Structure 1
Amino acid sequence: MKTLFVSYRVSDLARSLAFYTALGYAELGRVELGGGARLVLLTFPGEPAASLELVHRPDAAPVDVGTGFDHLAIQVDALASTLDTLTAAGLRPGPLQYPGGPQGPKTSWLTDPDGYRIELVEWPPGHPDGITAADFA
């Protein structure tokens, strides 16, 4: 088994698409569900498949991010330049942080238009992609 993608309900599809494309995602495809409801699948360039799904259901109850979801983590190659790019695109990422000390990963946080938190992570040189069992040895 493996995780396919994360799915977010969004209140304003155009606003959320503008945010996530500024973040670097590209639209892979759409599924029209009827009644104005739709799914939009997103991927980062170079990813083999969708990694994020935006679900817009205008006739459903309001979007509530307070359901136990904490955050989405996104790996970046160069966090400082990513923060510059996001700021130039009108997004408001937080400051560069070093939660594991100066030799550990670099992180920054931002929030999407519906209040979902996103953690941007740059691994130190030589660290494999993602978190593995080696990180807990």
Structure 2
Amino acid sequence: MPFELDHTMIRVLDEERSLAFYGVLGFDERRRARVGGDTATVIFLGLPGDGARLELTLNDGRTEPYGHGEAYGHIALTTPDLDAELARLAEHGIEPEKPPYASRPGGSRICFVRDPDGYRIELIERRAG
């Protein structure tokens, strides 16, 4: 295969709030760097057993929320037990937009949560087998 997905980048305003949120989802910090002629910090996060697939970018001096535009959709994560994960997330104040539902008859159950900057995260239940 000529290409492989390396990472996805989103711009965030509050480093601590964002790291706490993604930490609850299971991400850990893999590395960080100053970029853009030393005008921004990038923090790469990864899930256990995978590479640094999510880049959080903090632009120096930015205080106004970023517009997500019409093209942004969501980041998707899978779990074998959606109910257990939602109960765990609720302990951290993270609630789904609406209760889990099947995206199509017989399909996987899904729901969406939002990160501190309003980015949607799709949670997909993928049971073994």
Is the pair's TM-score, using the shorter chain for normalization, greater than 0.5? yes
**Secondary structure class of the residue paired with 1:52:** strand
- Which digits, 9 at most, give the CA deviation of each residue in 1:64-94, with x for residues without a partner? 2125111111111211111111111221224
The residue aligned with 1:56 is 58
Say which of 27, 30, 41 aligns to 2:44: 41
Question: Which amino acid is 2:34 matched to?
Answer: E
Q: Tell me the C-alpha RMSD between the 2 structures.
A: 1.7
Q: How far apart, in 1, do the equivalents of 2:41 and 2:58 lie?
A: 5
> Is the Cα–Cα contact under 8 Å of residues 104 and 123 in structure 1 kept in the other structure?
no
The residue aligned with 1:92 is 95
Correspondence 1:103-122 to 2 at 5 A: 103-122=106-125
Q: How far apart, in 2, do the equivalents of 1:26 and 1:98 lie?
A: 29
Compute the TM-score of the two structures, normalised by the length of structure 1.
0.81
Contiguous gaps of at least 5 residues in structure 1: 127-137
Deviation at residue 59 of structure 1 after TM alignment = 3.1
Say which of 1, 17, 20 aligns to 1:18: 20
> Is the Cα–Cα contact under 8 Å of residues 79 and 124 in structure 2 kept in the other structure?
yes
Deviation at residue 58 of structure 1 after TM alignment = 2.5
**What is the number of residues matched between the two proteins?**
123
Q: How far apart, in 1, do the equivalents of 2:80 and 2:33 lie?
A: 31
Correspondence 1:64-75 to 2 at 5 A: 64-75=67-78
Q: How far apart, in 1, do the equivalents of 2:67 and 2:19 lie?
A: 18
Contiguous gaps of at least 5 residues in structure 2: none
